[in-house]
């Protein structure tokens, strides 16, 4: 009996320990290799910036400093937080009273920059409160909010709706409706995307075992369905739970490969960089570094599609960025 119990315990240990060890080894190997000279900026990078830019807190001196920071770099798009949306999908115009000041100012000092309205909300997918995409009226209101910010002068609209579960057909329906609007306006439709299953079906397994049904990842197929409906898709490749820089870099390399495989060449694919600093279960700042993310993105690009022109990096977020983040971005990518 003791011998059988010992073998049972050993089996459980192997089941729990060996797969993660192999996974860690695979990520570490994914982080190795030479970086190609062609895996550099294409001038299609993006920068998430906070609400202070449209609510009156930022002044002319701040705009001048931002322009100096961005001049000569790879940033083409600013995602400017103009929301959040109300839970019914509407957007009070009072939330962005200084939008025109920012848009006109950026167009004047950096004519190539596109200023997109960043709109988002919490979805009622893992709790009772939030935006409900299953409600057709709410989806119509979201489209109306997109029309509203385009009327206000924004060059495009960028959506970040979370937590968004894989295979959400109501989300795809919303994107179809938004696409008709943005194409008619000749404006880009952009979205922030969840990470892709690191292993097939990972989102389903996590949803089954988590207390609130959280899935975290999307299937690669669903990612592709989203990518085909938009002009630009930015992977939020941070908050990965990775404990080491080498594992995080390998994870980003793998995410880049999966995303490139699923994204049509007609859609801009951006890989997110963690320009923020905090330590919790999901994000360890000494592991999730800008340098590791840049290297991982370059490795993934070089292995999969080094000639892909519609590719870039997306920097999150201006109010938490430090000089070291900018230095790593410039040195590794520009």
In a domain, 241, yes or no: yes
Rounded to whole angstroms, the Cα distance separating 164 from 217 reads 9
CATH value at residue 146:
3.20.20.80
DSSP string, 275-302: ----BSSS-BTTTS-HHHHHHHHHHHHH
In a domain, 15, yes or no: no
- Measured at the CA of 20, the angle between CA 218 and CA 269, to 5 degrees, comes to 30
- Which residue reads 């570490």 in tokens? 28
- Which residue reads 């439709």 in tokens? 189
For the entire predicted model, the pTM comes to: 0.92
Residue 68, exposed/middle/buried by CB under 10 A (0-12, 13-18, 19+)?
A: exposed
Q: What is the pLDDT along the chain (334 residues), one digit of tens a residue?
A: 433 443 433 333 333 334 554 467 688 788 888 898 889 999 999 999 999 999 999 999 999 999 999 999 999 999 999 999 999 999 999 999 999 999 999 999 999 999 999 999 999 999 999 999 999 999 999 999 999 999 999 999 999 999 999 999 999 999 999 999 999 999 999 999 999 999 999 999 999 888 899 999 999 999 999 999 999 999 999 999 999 999 999 999 999 999 999 999 999 999 999 999 999 999 999 999 999 999 999 999 999 999 999 999 999 999 999 999 999 999 999 9
For 50-102, write each residue's pLDDT tens digit.
999 999 999 999 999 999 999 999 999 999 999 999 999 999 999 999 999 99
In a domain, 32, yes or no: no
Which domain does 275 fall in, by range? 40-333
In a domain, 7, yes or no: no
CA distance readout (Å), 104 to 60, 87, 145: 12, 30, 21
CB within 8 Å of 159: residues ≥ 6 apart: 119, 120, 178, 190, 191, 192
In a domain, 142, yes or no: yes
Residue 199, exposed/middle/buried by CB under 10 A (0-12, 13-18, 19+)?
A: exposed
Rounded to whole angstroms, the Cα distance separating 313 from 294 reads 8
Total structural domains in the chain? 1
- Measured at the CA of 113, the angle between CA 229 and CA 106, to 5 degrees, comes to 130
C-beta of residue 252 within 8 angstroms of C-beta of residue 272: no
Q: Are strands 268-274 and 232-235 parallel, antiparallel or unpaired?
A: parallel
**Angle, helix 290-304 to helix 323-333, in steps of 10 degrees:** 20
Rounded to whole angstroms, the Cα distance separating 27 from 32 reads 9
In a domain, 34, yes or no: no
**What phi and psi values does residue 109 have, to the nearest 5 degrees?**
-90, -30
Local structure of 162: helix, strand or coil: strand
Token pair listed for 129: 């409160």
In a domain, 134, yes or no: yes
In a domain, 13, yes or no: no
At 5 the pLDDT is 40
């Amino acid at each position: 009996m003791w011998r059988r119990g010992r073998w049972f315990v050993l089996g459980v240990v192997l089941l729990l320990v060996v797969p993660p060890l192999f996974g860690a080894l695979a990520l570490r190997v994914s982080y190795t290799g030479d970086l190609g000279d062609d895996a550099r900026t294409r001038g299609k990078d993006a920068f998430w910036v906070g609400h202070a830019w449209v609510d009156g807190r930022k002044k002319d001196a701040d705009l001048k400093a931002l322009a100096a920071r961005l001049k000569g770099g790879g940033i083409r798009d600013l995602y400017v937080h103009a929301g959040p949306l109300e839970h019914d999908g509407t957007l009070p115009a009072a939330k962005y009273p200084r939008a025109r000041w920012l848009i006109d100012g950026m167009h004047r000092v950096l004519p190539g920059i596109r200023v997109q309205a960043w709109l988002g909300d919490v979805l009622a997918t893992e709790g009772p409160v939030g935006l409900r995409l299953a409600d057709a009226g709410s989806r119509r209101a979201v489209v109306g909010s997109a029309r509203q910010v385009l009327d206000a002068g924004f060059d495009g609209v960028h959506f970040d709706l979370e937590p968004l579960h894989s295979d959400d057909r109501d989300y795809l329906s919303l994107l179809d409706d938004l696409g008709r609007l943005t194409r008619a306006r000749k404006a880009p439709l952009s979205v922030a995307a969840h990470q892709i299953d690191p292993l097939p079906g990972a989102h389903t397994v996590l949803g089954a075992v988590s207390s609130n049904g959280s899935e975290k990842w999307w299937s690669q197929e669903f990612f592709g369905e989203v990518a085909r409906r938009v002009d630009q898709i930015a992977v939020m490749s941070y908050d990965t739970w990775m404990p080491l820089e080498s594992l995080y870099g390998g994870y980003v390399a793998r995410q880049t490969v999966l995303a490139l495989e699923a994204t049509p060449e007609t859609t801009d694919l951006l890989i997110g960089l963690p320009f923020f600093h905090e330590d919790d279960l999901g994000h360890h700042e000494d592991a999730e570094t800008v340098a590791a993310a840049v290297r991982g993105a370059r490795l993934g690009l070089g292995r999969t599609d080094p000639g892909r022109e519609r590719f870039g990096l997306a920097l999150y977020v201006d109010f938490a960025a430090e000089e070291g983040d900018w230095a790593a971005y410039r040195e590794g990518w520009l």
